[in-house]
Amino acid sequence: MDTRSICLGVLSMGEATGYEIKKLFEEGPFSHFYDAGYGSIYPALGKLLEAEQVTCRVEAQAGRPAKKVYAITDAGHEVLAGALHEEPAIDHIRSEALVMMFFGHKLSADQRARVLDKYHGHYAKVLAGLHELDTSREGFGRQFVHGFGLAIYETAVRYLEEHGDEFLDGKTANDKIGAEQ
């Protein structure tokens, strides 16, 4: 699914500025599973406007530049419905920390500890934030995605806690079993 379709999805929830859309990708519900910034959001909004799938009105603000508020049109709803019926692409994880862990044998013990601590801290922080969210009044789709996120982050944190010492020691579970025999 491309950024245009996702912007249509965001606007199907209500009117928004480009800045507000960006915040949903940085700090909001999409921040855990989709990455989009100004460099993709504003071009997408421009194309949606050209295709008359969104409208835009300019609102004056006291002491600040005017803001552009976007809203989805009926044509935009139709395009969104079509995009939601397409087969989704397979997820791909992109993680510099996992690349560094993959090459952990080339890192010093201090470097391994820093990478592991930072990665664990990030996942624990995200997990804590997910636990704070109250999705009881949200639709079933948002509740499902929230639960999926909890499952992923809980599993990741648990794995890092249960197996982090192996990474820090530069040993695998098989190495430890062999040493015990």
Give the span between the Cα atoms of 3 and 109, in whole angstroms: 41
Q: Are residues 109 and 170 in the same domain?
A: yes
Domain presence at residue 157: yes
Judge whether 140 lies within some domain. yes
Q: How many domains does the chain have?
A: 2
Q: What is the pLDDT of residue 173?
A: 59
Which residues in the chain land under pLDDT 50? none
| Residue 175, pLDDT score | 60
Q: Are residues 21 and 47 in the same domain?
A: yes
Q: What is the pTM of this model?
A: 0.78
Q: What pLDDT does residue 84 have?
A: 96
Domain stop point among 49, 84, 119: 84
CATH of the domain at 60: 1.10.10.10
Q: What residue numbers bound the domain in which 47 lies?
A: 3-84
Nearest CA-CA partner of 114 in 127, 101, 126: 101
